[in-house]
A and B are shown apart, each in its own frame.
Chain A
């Protein structure tokens, strides 16, 4: 894994190295988080919340960006021919990954460490200890994901590893999000400036263990904090050690079998039938050959390309986790019914946000592939409408993945609210998601599968998606308008649809101007 990039001039512009822009994004997110929590009254509450966010983001980043690094059949090419032991190679890989985790964790936690140092007793010492605990927490989160992968490689049949790991991936995202939503839920019951009561739950919440460690440094060295700190250090050591040793010895053999199984793959009859069925779907939704080509190419890759699936499927775990949380907590109230009580956790809005957030996973993934050099064919073919290739790929995502997922959400939400309210709410969210998808595609204006996999691209786009939190203002405003008066509400919905159409038009213009200058430099 190598995130370095030369400062290359492209059409007169200096390209900022991806690592730098990614670290800047993390530093901004970390800074915003630290500022938003500056009013918390005790170090435990502050560190609990910042550690939760940091651990969540680290785990999600490893899942989204680096998962293919942990277990990669491509390593067979290196291990099979060079005199490197399996353990050495695997350790080097994981160490390399942890180095990048250390960089992002530092960028993410440094602002909070400064706030802790200035805000609470202990000064520089407490800031320093905060940083050490934060790094340990992020390492543990990354190691936990690595462990999940290595366990899957051990447990599942090699032929089924690809499918299994995709579900493991989705489940991990689901579980992480569910856990992440629980923490702010505990705080938001009342004013943010109060401290969180330390109940018996602290023993089950890993971020609390690390927060306990930080509290030790501000003179609160009671036995519980000491135990929490010991638990934090011990768990981190155990998880990191397990991540390094679980499959390191047999990694070479496992990868060889994985690579071998991939070379024998034949398309099964059921897949062919399915392909024909979806090709018919392409005929319905696509207007020309270019769109159909993009649609069909993406359709096959979504089914067969392990890396692509790994990067996309976790997206579905996010809204489902919030839905489950909303169902348990009763927070999924009817958007057209009476207003929820003041201070209620906005589960519905969070569900909407994650539905919009899902598009981030798709927007950059559909333009990237290890086989990007094959995109020469798009440049040499007589295409009247190169834009159509990406439009077709986006249509596949929308009609094959997003739309059915929203239909599933409609069924699920109808358990919590009237069907008509759920349908209206999801329609608005769907339109917002399409808008977000168009905006993110503008930031990633490439033909399908035509870019090398740049491991920092999604993380950088995460900064952009944070801005899409603005979309939630739309969602809340429209819900409120609908509740107050149907006519005004429907006008607002119509305006939103117009806005989404305009963003699609803007995207196509941007793609057309971009693709007109594009060259194949592979």
Chain B
């Protein structure tokens, strides 16, 4: 995607909504010699659901970590509602809710205890936080497990607790990294509708995912990252038009794939069956 196209897209977004919820300014992060994120520039207005896509290792999670203050950028910065996350992290973090990709939580706690802990960290009144947490857990269908230690929870149950934690303090901006991981179809549907509803109320959602059909359905805008760089930015239809492809999946593949997918599948298949090495696994 050329600079002119990007500028045009940014201008059109700015026209739609004059206030910017999330802004990345030349965001760079290196780990030793490896540059995980290279000069990412983005402006996401209020009320927008922005899909952030990329192959494994493209730098999506690193971007989220920088934007939420978990790690510091090597250079550049992220602004949350105009507040610099590097300069004023506490002020900025008050406006953010995060669901991380790892799905990690303190499993020896019960969901209620975990959400009470998160409430403490966001300086919420304890009883109010617990009450709200109870409501969230009931709505997600895990109210009966609210006093169970989370060690034996499935990924989906943990994800419900994490989403509840992200929403507990009613943030303006949500950073969701694979939020549907492990969720059953019904809960996934509820979450997708909930995100639309929240966006209609003016909340901004930064949505990282590999599930392209979900992104296609719920996101107003899609940003594609490859090797730490933004390679495409626009609405789903814009991206399809730009790549002359019929689906977002095909557009994504064209923009990020580094080989012939059919050839890779064939080589894999032959390796699994042993034909590639002259070994017949059938024996």
Contacts and interface: CB of A to CB of B under 8 A. Distances in A.
A349 B98 CA distance: 52
A264 B120 contact: no
Given A374-B106, A377-B117, A377-B165, 14 more contacts: A267-B148, A289-B120, A292-B120, A300-B109, A301-B106, A305-B108, A376-B100, A377-B118, A377-B121, A381-B93, A381-B121, A381-B122, A382-B121, A519-B70
A379 B68 CA distance: 8
B110 interface: yes
Interface string B79-105: 000000000011111101010101011
Contacts of A83: none
Interface of B: 32, 65, 68-72, 89-94, 96, 98, 100, 102, 104-110, 113, 116-118, 120-123, 147-149, 151-152, 165
Contacts of A382: 89-94, 121-123
A520 interface: yes
B147 A384 contact: no
B59 to A, nearest CB: 15
A293 interface: yes
A297 B102 contact: no
B71 A380 contact: no
A449 B107 CA distance: 12
A382 B83 CA distance: 13
A380 B148 contact: no
Nearest to B121: A381
B105 to A, nearest CB: 5
Given A266-B148, A266-B149, A522 B104 contact: yes
Contact of B152 (A265, A293, A300, A379): A265
Contact of A449 (B68, B92, B93, B106): B106
A376 B104 contact: yes
A289 B123 contact: yes
Interface string A269-309: 00010010000000000000110110011001100110000
A291 to B, nearest CB: 10
Interface string A358-401: 00000000000101011011111111100000000000000000
Nearest to A308: B108
Given A266-B149, A304-B149, A519-B70, A384 B90 contact: yes
A297 B106 contact: yes
A68 B85 CA distance: 40
Contacts of A380: 68-70, 93, 96, 98, 100
A265 B149 CA distance: 6
Contacts of A521: 71
Nearest to A379: B70
B151 A263 contact: yes
B108 A301 contact: yes
A9 interface: yes
A522 B121 contact: no
Most buried by B among A262, A305, A376: A376
Most buried by A among B68, B117, B121, B122: B121
Interface of A: 9, 262-267, 272, 275, 289-290, 292-293, 296-297, 300-301, 304-305, 369, 371, 373-374, 376-384, 449, 519-522
A296 to B, nearest CB: 7
A382 B152 CA distance: 29
Contacts of B72: 519
Contacts of A519: 70-72
B126 to A, nearest CB: 9
A300 B113 contact: yes
Contacts of B92: 382
Across the A-B interface, give the 7 residue pairs with the lowest CB-CB distance, nearest first.
Answer: A263-B152, A373-B104, A381-B121, A382-B93, A293-B120, A520-B70, A379-B70
Nearest to B146: A267
Most buried by A among B92, B96, B110: B110
A262 B108 CA distance: 10
A371 B117 contact: no
Most buried by B among A267, A305, A381: A381
A264 B150 CA distance: 9
Contact of A381 (B106, B116, B118): B118
10 contacts: A264-B152, A266-B147, A272-B147, A290-B121, A297-B117, A380-B98, A383-B121, A384-B90, A519-B71, A522-B104
B165 A300 contact: no
A265 B148 contact: yes
Contacts of B110: 267
Nearest to A521: B71
B247 to A, nearest CB: 34
A49 to B, nearest CB: 42
A286 B179 CA distance: 35
Contacts of B151: 262-263, 265
B147 A267 contact: yes
Contacts of A381: 93, 118, 121-122
